[in-house]
């Protein structure tokens, strides 16, 4: 029997000022920061495994990671989260700690992930690093017409970062739509997995539809081409949020309100 106990932590973070989740030597990352503070608090070497990587400047509303510790009952001690949050910088917050089975894996066990992309149509002095400021007139109906095409396909090579070492470019997208919310446009997308830069490339392509530069037929042609050069620009990182991560029911993680709405499933 292992002397270590496995825990999942649920956290959120503002990616501004961080070089993404994944550890990079000499760079400030979310992973390294969380590992360091957990190690100090628990007085042991801690390795944190995230549910996926996010790029520099990308945010997470709901993120899961796991770690092993010799400490028992961390999920039952309310002071643990309080103390950890006091140690962490303002842009990172821990919401929950779950005790898990030894083989529970934050990355490989995830069955679905959801992202949001935020566009602000006006200057926002309270969140210039939290959305893409875009003042051009966009046809949201045209963007939604094209967004509905995305789940009909499963090969997204056209939206994958050039040079990425993908074992496969196949993804199952189940949700894809735009929401108007005041002065903001928010794109929602859910899939079993995502390719590097995929969401930002999809958004850049859909924005081209909103500007009247491409049609639904063009979107189909772009996807079927499998060529990144055919798709739209990669939009800025600051508008992107990992908004939800789903796991099997057997994990018994608490059920929360999700961006995945039944009307769009």
Closest residue by Cα to residue 136 from 189, 205, 212? 212
Integer Cα distance of 55 and 29 in angstroms: 10
Give the active site residue among 47, 55, 77, 165: 55
| One-character DSSP codes across 138-204 | --HHHHHHHHTTGGG--B-GGGSPTT---S--B--EEEEEEEEETTEEEEEEEES---TTHHHHHHH
Closest residue by Cα to residue 56 from 245, 243, 236, 193? 236
Query: Residue 208 belongs to what H/E stretch?
Result: helix 198-210
Catalytic residue flag (residue 129): no
Known catalytic residues are 55
């Amino acid at each position: 029997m292992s002397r270590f106990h496995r825990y999942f932590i649920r956290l959120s973070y503002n990616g501004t000022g961080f070089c993404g989740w994944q550890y990079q030597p000499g760079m400030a990352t979310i992973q390294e920061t969380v590992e360091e503070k957990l190690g100090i608090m628990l007085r042991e070497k801690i390795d944190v495994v995230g549910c996926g990587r996010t790029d520099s400047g990308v945010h997470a509303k709901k993120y899961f990671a796991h770690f092993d510790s010799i400490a028992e009952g961390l999920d039952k001690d309310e002071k643990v989260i309080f103390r950890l949050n006091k140690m962490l910088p303002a842009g990172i917050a821990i919401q929950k700690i779950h005790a898990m089975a030894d083989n529970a894996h934050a990355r490989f066990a995830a069955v679905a992930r959801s992202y949001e992309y935020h566009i602000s149509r006006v200057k926002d002095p309270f969140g210039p690093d939290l959305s893409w400021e875009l003042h051009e007139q966009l046809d949201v109906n045209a963007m939604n017409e094209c967004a509905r095409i995305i789940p009909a396909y499963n090969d997204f090579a056209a939206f994958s970062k050039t040079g990425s070492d993908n074992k496969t470019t196949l993804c199952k997208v189940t949700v894809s739509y735009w929401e108007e919310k005041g002065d903001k446009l928010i794109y929602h997308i859910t899939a079993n997995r995502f390719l590097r830069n995929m969401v930002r490339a999809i958004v850049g392509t859909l924005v081209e539809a909103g500007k009247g530069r491409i049609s639904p037929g063009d979107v189909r042609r772009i996807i079927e081409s499998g060529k990144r050069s055919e798709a739209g620009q990669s939009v800025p990182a600051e508008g992107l949020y990992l908004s939800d991560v789903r796991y099997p029911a057997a994990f018994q993680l608490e059920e929360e309100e999700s961006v995945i709405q039944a009307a769009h499933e």
